[in-house]
A and B are shown apart, each in its own frame.
Chain A
Amino acid sequence: MKELTCEDVLMSQMAAADGEEPEFSKQQLSTHIASCANCQHELHQFQALDQLLTGHTLSEPRVNLWPAIENGIAKRTDWQPFALIGLLLVIYKLLEMLPARDPGMAFKLVPLIIVVLLFVFIRENPFRINTELLLER
């Protein structure tokens, strides 16, 4: 059987007090607590903290964010057709600059395309909404 540390016991005991399934049996926990003054002290402190926190709720301020949100949604979607037209014009202009049978210009464009792709896919795509949790700093 795994030797219980104070941390194991305290975490399990706190989970039990929160109404969750503890990781260790009641008997294992009570045997350790009975002989450990540190755990007894910590649990006493935890109960006091629990009492202090219970009964509080977050203050929910009266707000009406809908006008700003509606405006933001419109702004984020309105520019997209113009951006697409702009992009197509740039591509057209670049293609027009290519001499008919000279591949030299095409080779010059390759690094530019690579840089654009790196920026978009590796650094951060500014048009992508991340629905996964960001790593915490």
Chain B
Amino acid sequence: MDDAEAIKRCQQGDREAFRHLVERYQRRAVAQAMVILFNRDDAEDAVQEAFIDAFKAIGTFDTSRTFYQWFYVLLRNRCYKLTGRRRPTESLDEASLLAAQPGMADETRLVLEKALHSLTREEREIVSLKYFSGLSYDELAAHLQIPRGTVMSRLFYARQRLQSKLSEV
């Protein structure tokens, strides 16, 4: 079943079709929520709430966007709501953000995670969407609902900050 078909069936109240969407996107969603929250439990809470929001609001689904782009807005809103009453940030070992890569030293990954951890949520988010999710500037603008020019400048400052944090680590 493709997303369009699943969404159509969800709009008629079919929970099984929604299950299909949850199972397709839950892992990516938890990984991206972790980027903002840096806490696995909070990330799972945010993803659960965002999927429940999505089911309730599926009637207003904007067909000009993909399901995940639309869902990401709900997820992001949930993450930002949670940051006000969040648990203390986990240690880096517990909150593993990046996947281990063959042929790449674990130490490099940990240094990068540590530097990412010291960025603001917005900076971490845009760097992650650009590099780890491979989004183009237009896709970043659609995901974050900001103009393309703002994508360029936000990415520029985030990279500068990351560079400076890496040199401190």
Enumerate chain A interface residues (CB-CB to B < 8 A). 7, 10-11, 14-15, 18-20, 23, 42, 45-46, 49, 52-66, 68-70, 72-73, 76, 129-134, 136-137
Q: Is B132's CB under 8 angstroms from A57's CB?
A: yes
A20 vs B144: C-alpha distance in the bound complex, in angstroms? 18
A45 vs B156: C-alpha distance in the bound complex, in angstroms? 12
A73 neighbours in B (Cβ, 8 Å)? 15, 18, 52, 55-56
Residue of B51, B52, B77, B112 with most chain A CB atoms under a 10 A cut-off: B52
Q: Is B128's CB under 8 angstroms from A58's CB?
A: yes
Closest 10 CB pairs of A and B: A58-B31, A60-B27, A59-B99, A53-B131, A72-B52, A133-B145, A129-B57, A129-B53, A60-B31, A58-B132
A18 neighbours in B (Cβ, 8 Å)? 130, 136-137
B60 interface residue (CB < 8 Å to A): yes
Size bracket, chain B contacts = 35 or more
Q: Is A52's CB under 8 angstroms from B31's CB?
A: no
Q: Is A20's CB under 8 angstroms from B137's CB?
A: yes
A–B complex contacts, Cβ < 8 Å, 28 sampled: A7-B156, A11-B153, A18-B130, A18-B137, A42-B160, A53-B112, A56-B104, A57-B99, A58-B31, A58-B97, A60-B31, A60-B99, A61-B40, A65-B26, A69-B22, A72-B49, A72-B51, A73-B18, A76-B52, A76-B56, A130-B74, A131-B57, A131-B73, A132-B73, A133-B73, A133-B144, A133-B145, A137-B80
Q: Is B99's CB under 8 angstroms from A52's CB?
A: no
B107 interface residue (CB < 8 Å to A): no
B52 neighbours in A (Cβ, 8 Å)? 69, 72-73, 76
Q: Given A73-B15, A131-B60, is A62 in contact with B27 using a C-beta cutoff of 8 Å?
A: yes
Q: Is A136's CB under 8 angstroms from B122's CB?
A: yes
Q: Is B48's CB under 8 angstroms from A69's CB?
A: yes
